[in-house]
Structure 1
């Protein structure tokens, strides 16, 4: 194996910027980020152009690339358990119907990934635009790189903090600057996932979590532990009553960039 093939990079596609880092063991050497004007959901095309430029400046052929994608470009849905489903294709079709019930008929194709759960358990489905993924693969291949994985940030963050969350009932909130995603588990089972356009200010998060807690209290008397991860709140951690903060391990670099924080959550 050549030394070049061992190089690993982590790219983060944020709602208004793209960042790139190089993994060195368990550490990340931050190579920089480039901002762009947020043009809404379709901004992913600009994000990929920006990523291509960053890769051209920093990455060498033969390296591996992990891409983390903001909740801004992702959609989420709870897929109920059904005894009538007997194959992976049927499960994908059922998940597609769940998305259409929630979001309406799609105007573009989506790629769905479902969480692995035991029989009888509901699943979390994550959707990314198929065009985004195809153009990303083409871009990475064109640079001579290997695409190691594509991860919605909700899943990256949850996997990073999973072992620190209560095993029973909890609300896990990932609050990016323009969008928050909320995961709810009851007795070790997923019961809800919601994505909401929201600021990550203390006032906005207090209101958001308060509404969600009231909604959950109306469906169950079991108390919820509330966990909050806000990657852009670097200099001042959120102060939200009754919430357990989840932050990444102390970083000794001088980088103050939300995208850098998000890149460090990658295993």
Structure 2
């Protein structure tokens, strides 16, 4: 069997729906979908069923995690941190301060930044990652990556963002995640429940900007505001602090296909 016959599957895991797509040169194509309810465990159960129906026994699997299944925080710079292990411990303590002892078992990823700059950290339940690994292996697939939607979308769209000052929002059904940067450094990261409407997302962005002094003339030039909202029309969004947001899309139109495009060419 030629290596060209290997499948590259992408799945989008959300609280109420799991979608399986097959990656290709023209973008991800639908391979199956199913509704679910009951947190990430039910979502992984649904994924297992979709993989069984697809019958694929060779290739790789990439997972896009809804921000419902990930936790984010800004990690301030500290001169007292002298090693990656100390950085992880410092970051974990920060998550435990917010979420309690449950965060002790979460898997962490921390963005690489230059010395002196804050970092963005994401935490995902270790049990979720282990279950995804087991399901992929059971289907004869290699689990190639697990990427929170916010970070996957940012990585794909980063070349289209202003370099130093921006507000970047990723809106998905029931949730909106926001990254703020000022003077080339991370200022804030937050993921919040949100109604699935342009007005609700704009109101959430207004609040985030106010909390972080965005829009205050004394804080410097106004940032560019970007919204990536899979499944939403690319029409005009309500202004945020007097700034008209720019809608950024990856194509496809369908919410789940567009989320998959964050990790699939």
Alignment correspondent of 2:248: 246
Please give the alpha-carbon distance, in whole angstroms, between the structure 2 residues aligned to 1:61 and 1:45: 23
Q: Secondary structure at the match of 2:219?
A: coil
Alpha carbons 2:95, 2:103 under 8 Å: kept: no
Alignment correspondent of 2:127: 131
Alignment correspondent of 2:260: 263
Alpha carbons 1:200, 1:230 under 8 Å: kept: no
Alpha carbons 1:4, 1:62 under 8 Å: kept: no
Give 1:102 shift: 2.4
Counting only pairs closer than 5 Å after superposition, residues 208-219 of structure 1 correspond to structure 2 as: 208-217=204-213
CA deviation digits over 1:115-162, x for unaligned, max 9? 111111111000001110011101111111111111000011001110
Please give the alpha-carbon distance, in whole angstroms, between the structure 1 residues aligned to 2:115 and 2:5: 39
Please give the alpha-carbon distance, in whole angstroms, between the structure 1 residues aligned to 2:64 and 2:219: 36
Alignment correspondent of 1:227: 226
Moved more, 46-55 or 216-225: 216-225
Q: Secondary structure at the match of 2:124?
A: strand
Count of residues in Structure 1 that have an aligned counterpart in Structure 2:
257
CA deviation digits over 1:70-107, x for unaligned, max 9? 00010001111112212221111010011122223326
Q: Secondary structure at the match of 1:194?
A: strand
Alignment correspondent of 1:27: 27
Give 1:58 shift: 1.2
Alpha carbons 1:169, 1:225 under 8 Å: kept: yes
Alignment correspondent of 2:95: 99
Q: Which runs of 4+ in 1 moved over 4 A?
A: 235-238
Alignment correspondent of 1:8: 8
Over aligned residue pairs, what C-alpha RMSD do you find?
1.9
Alignment correspondent of 2:139: 143
CA deviation digits over 1:12-54, x for unaligned, max 9? 10121000111112521211311123x3xxx100000000011
Which of 118, 140, 148 is residue 114 of structure 2 equivalent to? 118
Alpha-carbon spacing, 1:228–1:143, altered in 2? closer, same or farther (3 Å): same
Please give the alpha-carbon distance, in whole angstroms, between the structure 1 residues aligned to 2:83 and 2:26: 39
Structure 2: gaps spanning 5 or more residues:
none
Structure 1: gaps spanning 5 or more residues:
none
Alpha carbons 2:234, 2:247 under 8 Å: kept: no
TM-score (ref. length: structure 1): 0.90
Q: Secondary structure at the match of 2:169?
A: strand
Q: Does 1:66 align with 2:65?
A: no
